[in-house]
Amino acid sequence: MNTIKIKDWGLNINSDKAPLIIAGPCSAETETQVLQSCKGATEQGAQILRAGIWKPRTRPGSFEGVGNVGLPWIKKAGNKNGLPVTIEVANAKHVKEALDHKIDILWIGARTTVNPFAVQEIADALKGHDIPVLIKNPVNPDLELWIGAVERFLDAGINKIALIHRGFSVTKSAPFRNQPLWEIPIEFKRRYPNIEIICDPSHICGKRELLSQISQKAFDLSFDGLMIETHINPDVALSDALQQVTPEGLGQLLKNLIRRKTLTDNVDFLANLEALRVDIDSLDRDSIELLVKRMEVVREIGRYKKENGVTILQMNRWSKLFDDRVSASIDAGLSEIFAKALIQVIHNESIRQQEMVMNAES
């Protein structure tokens, strides 16, 4: 993907101070609230200021944002602090208002990325404009949909693009509001290493107590920045009160994060690391070979079952095998969660292999 990196967006964003910090309130509520929250966020190290003007809410009747009247407030906050500002746009009308008010950066919300019609409408409205766009992951864990949204903007000639990982709305499971499913942004980065990803711990966590754990993890996974909702008085915020922090809270959070280097030129370290990686490469090859052999035996059993008119799945056997393998794995030192997932995935493939054998003409 031919995207332009944040430092080259022409917005004077100091990427040496990386990772990039985007902060500001979930929603613009009053001019004073926006100005105070953004001033505080800037003092604590924010490099881009945010505020939601139009808010996508789950149920009607909750606070749906102040609308157009808030646009000059966030712009003024940007001018006063010398920082670029970003707001969410969800349709062509929002885009027009944002461009008219010279908003520096747009973001696409998770409930918009999920809808290709809406994404296309926004991309079309941006044709001919040179403005950066941050694209949040869709609410559902669908990597292709996320990639598709980026492609729609690229096709419209927008190439100042970065991603925001804000977690996924899958079966609710404590403690997070949205499950991080780190493997999805990591796979995006693996396929398109050039594109930067900012983590949004606020919407992943849903409560401020969890922010530091997710922020640290994002740092340790080499994310390129953080977006943290920051409000001058979070407890009375009109949206997302539980997850917002005060500017001081933001400062404290950032101060406590440990930044590890992604690279080092220490030759001993590099040599030892390389040796360990050679071990891993060879163990992975062995594991693959073992799985290939296992699947050969699985197909052999499948043929045998077919000849004797026996079903693929015998519940007793599967149940016993599952318990046996999980406890053997745990005894051998693997974690229970990993052992269960591993056995399950191997079994699913074994069933699939036997189905192929059963359905093959012979």
As measured in angstroms, the least distance from the Cβ of 135 to ligand PEP is: 10
- Inter-residue contact 103 to 129 (CB < 8 Å): no
Which residues, 6+ apart, have CB-to-CB distance to 93 below 8 Å? none
User: Which residue, among 199, 206, 202, 203, has the nearest Cα to 184 in the 3D structure?
Assistant: 199
Question: Number of C-alpha atoms within 13 angstroms, CB side, residue 12?
Answer: 6
Least distance between Mn ion and beta carbon 58 (Å): 12
Interacting residues toward Mn ion by CB under 5 A: 26, 240
Q: How far is the CB of 113 from ligand PEP (least distance, A)?
A: 8
Write down the least CB distance from residue 351 to Mn ion, Å: 42
- Residue closer to Mn ion by CB (options 3, 113) is 113
Residue whose beta carbon is closest to ligand PEP = 109
Residue 26 vs 326, nearer CB to ligand PEP: 26
Rg value, the chain, Cα: 25
Displacement of CA 239 from its chain's centroid (Å): 21
Q: Report the partner that residue 77 touches, choosing among ligand PEP, Mn ion, none (CB closer than 5 to 8 A by kind).
A: none
Rounded CA separation 294/120 (Å): 47
Q: How far is the CB of 21 from ligand PEP (least distance, A)?
A: 15
Distance CA(86)–CA(28), nearest Å, equals: 12
User: 217 vs 299, which CB is nearer to ligand PEP?
Assistant: 217
Q: Which amino acid is at 268?
A: D
Nearer to Mn ion, 22 or 26 (CB): 26
Residues of this chain that bind ligand PEP (CB under 6 A): 26, 52, 56, 109-111, 136, 166, 203
Beta bridge pairs of residue 52: 27
Which of the listed partners (ligand PEP, Mn ion, none) does 72 bind, with a CB threshold of 5 to 8 Å by partner kind?
A: none
Q: Which does 109 bind (CB under 5 to 8 A by kind): ligand PEP, Mn ion, none?
A: ligand PEP
Secondary structure letter of residue 221 according to DSSP: T
The single residue listed with the structure tokens 């009053």 is: 30
Instruction: Report the residue number, 83 or 227, with the smaller CB distance to Mn ion.
Output: 227
